[in-house]
């Protein structure tokens, strides 16, 4: 399983000394050629995140991601359909526990993710910068991501109150409608905002008690994959969020067609892909949520992946 992949063409990073220094504080990104007196940097191997573990792809394949300067930033796992299948199994197994967790606990855990991200903020700023985001924008994106997590952490025990209902039926029954998570949700993250966009896509899914398999942006996967480290240290139960990297063209169809996935969220505006997703989703009447453009956080995105359950009971003696 844990086969080592020999990557070809590993290049020397040409980041400036200051940047290299900053990166060294967090997980070391830059594969820097060390000045004579400094020790050799340890580059991070980016792996998948499935069922609370960090496996490499079972396929043994990889793809390279280039940084802003066109150099290879990392070799990413090119996840296969089997990796996706494993991730769905993990998400399904985790579902009843996570859906059954109290809203308070889910809120606490999402808040914990925010705390952990805050603590590792510099690592993510560095990763964003590596991919060409300027420093101020990178900082803004990381803080916005943390705030997004806090925002949804706060919603976990409120959306039910805002969107559920007691229905005044005419017969002698008590009738109420509550929201329940739809189940296992597959998420195709958009290209924009590697970190913020990814978190904005998965946070409302998780806040509502679903479990997820998310595909990181193909062009810009570093932050999403690194986010797994944050999740891993944040009491998020294994399998609740599974993160894959790989070729969207190869995996999107699997994300859309899998019979044990209840909903798909696809960020992006590729018309032919959207059509394909909707067609494949019909296999099991999957709920399809298409977000052609990034959407600011709001509770309706939680509701998008909720089912309404209505319960009747007689009122009598």
- Evaluated on CA atoms 147, 65, 58, 2, the torsion sign reads negative
Minimum CB separation of residue 299 from another protein in Å reads 8
Minimum CB separation of residue 278 from another protein in Å reads 3
Minimum CB separation of residue 262 from another protein in Å reads 7
Please give the size of the binding site for another protein, defined by CB under 8 A.
43
Name the one range near another protein by CB under 8 A: 113-121, 148-156, 216-224, 309-317. 309-317
The reply on whether position 69 binds another protein by CB under 8 A is: no
Q: Exposed (0-12), middle (13-18) or buried (19+): which is 263, by Cβ within 10 Å?
A: buried
Non-local CB neighbours of 68 within 8 Å, separated by 6+ positions: 130, 131, 132
By beta-carbon proximity to another protein, the closer residue of 37 and 271 is 271
Minimum CB separation of residue 292 from another protein in Å reads 10
d(CA 253, CA 248): 9
For another protein, which residue of 70, 136, 168, 296 counts as binding (CB under 8 A)?
Answer: 168
Pairing outcome for strands 263-267 and 72-77: unpaired
The reply on whether position 104 binds another protein by CB under 8 A is: no
The reply on whether position 287 binds another protein by CB under 8 A is: yes
The reply on whether position 313 binds another protein by CB under 8 A is: yes
Structure tokens at 253: 């169809």
By beta-carbon proximity to another protein, the closer residue of 201 and 243 is 201
List the one residue out of 194, 96, 97 whose CA is nearest residue 141: 194
The reply on whether position 70 binds another protein by CB under 8 A is: no
For another protein, which residue of 40, 134, 165, 249 counts as binding (CB under 8 A)?
Answer: 165
The reply on whether position 269 binds another protein by CB under 8 A is: no
Name the one range near another protein by CB under 8 A: 70-78, 109-117, 171-179, 205-213. 171-179
Minimum CB separation of residue 300 from another protein in Å reads 7
Minimum CB separation of residue 99 from another protein in Å reads 9
Residues 181-240 that bind another protein (CB under 8 A): 182-183
For another protein, which residue of 254, 262, 267, 301 counts as binding (CB under 8 A)?
Answer: 262
List the one residue out of 146, 109, 147 whose CA is nearest residue 236: 109
The reply on whether position 169 binds another protein by CB under 8 A is: yes
């Amino acid at each position: 399983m844990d086969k080592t992949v020999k990557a070809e063409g590993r290049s020397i990073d040409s980041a400036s000394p200051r940047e290299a220094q900053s990166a060294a504080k967090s997980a070391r990104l830059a594969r820097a050629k060390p000045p004579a007196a400094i020790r050799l940097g340890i580059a991070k191997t980016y792996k998948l995140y499935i069922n609370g573990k960090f496996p490499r792809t079972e396929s043994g394949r990889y793809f390279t991601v280039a940084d802003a300067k066109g150099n290879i930033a990392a070799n990413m796992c090119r996840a296969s359909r089997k990796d996706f299948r494993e991730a769905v199994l993990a998400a399904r197994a985790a579902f009843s526990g996570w859906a059954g967790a109290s809203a308070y606990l889910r809120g606490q855990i999402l808040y914990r993710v925010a705390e952990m991200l805050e603590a590792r903020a510099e690592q993510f700023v560095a990763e964003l910068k590596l991919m060409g985001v300027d420093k101020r924008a990178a900082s803004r994106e990381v803080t916005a991501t943390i705030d997004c997590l806090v925002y949804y952490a706060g919603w976990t025990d409120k959306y039910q109150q805002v969107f559920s209902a007691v229905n005044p039926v005419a017969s002698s029954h008590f009738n109420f409608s509550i929201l329940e998570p739809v189940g296992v949700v597959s998420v195709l993250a958009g290209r924009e905002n590697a970190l913020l966009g990814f978190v904005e896509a998965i946070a409302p899914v998780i806040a509502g008690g679903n479990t997820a398999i998310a595909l990181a942006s193909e062009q810009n996967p570093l932050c999403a994959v690194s986010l797994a480290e944050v999740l891993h240290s944040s009491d998020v139960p294994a399998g609740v969020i599974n993160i894959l990297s790989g070729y969207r063209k190869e995996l999107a169809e699997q994300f859309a067609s899998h019979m044990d996935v209840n909903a798909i969220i696809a960020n992006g505006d590729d018309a032919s892909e959207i059509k394909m997703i909707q067609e494949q989703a019909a296999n099991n009447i999957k709920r399809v949520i298409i977000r052609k453009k990034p959407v600011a956080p709001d509770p309706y995105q939680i509701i998008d992946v909720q089912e309404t359950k209505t319960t009747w009971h007689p009122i009598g003696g």
